[in-house]
Amino acid sequence: MIQEINDNNFDQLVILDSSLPVLVDFWAPWCAPCRTLSNILEEILIEYEGKVSILKLNVDKNEKTASKYGIRSIPTMFFFKNGIKKDSHIGISSKDEIVKKLNFLIEK
C-alpha cells in the first residue's frame, strides 16, 4: 500500500531521507482520476519495490505543501531524485509513461 505523507513529514521523507527516487502523488479522495491513478501506482509499487519510493499527499488536508509546490490541478505527480524535483506530470498518465520516468531516474 502506498504511504500517505503530510505537511509535517514531506521534507523528511521526500527531500532529506530518501536514497531512492521518489514519486509523490498529489491527490484528493473526491477526485475520480486520482483513484484511477492510485490503482496504477499500486501496481508499480509492487513491481519496483526497493527501487523507488511512491508516496501520496492529500492536497485537501495538506494545503501548506500543495501551495509550496504550486499544485493547481490533481492528480499531479512529482518525481524527485536526491531531494531535487526532476520531473512532473499533471493529470492521469499511463503505467508505461510513469515507468519510463521512473526508469530514467533509476538509471541516472
Question: What is the number of structural domains in the chain?
Answer: 1
What pLDDT, on a 0 to 100 scale, did the predictor assign at position 17?
85
What pLDDT, on a 0 to 100 scale, did the predictor assign at position 18?
84
Q: Active-site residue among 14, 34, 41, 105?
A: 34
Q: Which of 107, 47, 96, 105 is nearest to 24 (CA)?
A: 105
What pLDDT, on a 0 to 100 scale, did the predictor assign at position 55?
98
Write the CATH number for 102.
3.40.30.10
How long a stretch of residues is the chain? 108
Place of cell 531516474: 105
Is 34 an active-site residue?
Answer: yes
**108 residues of the chain, pLDDT tens digit each:** 899 999 999 999 999 988 899 999 999 999 999 999 999 999 999 999 999 999 999 999 999 999 999 999 999 999 999 999 999 999 999 999 999 999 999 997
pTM for the model stands at: 0.96
Print the domain residue range for 40. 3-107
Q: Active-site residue among 15, 31, 92, 99?
A: 31
What pLDDT, on a 0 to 100 scale, did the predictor assign at position 73?
97
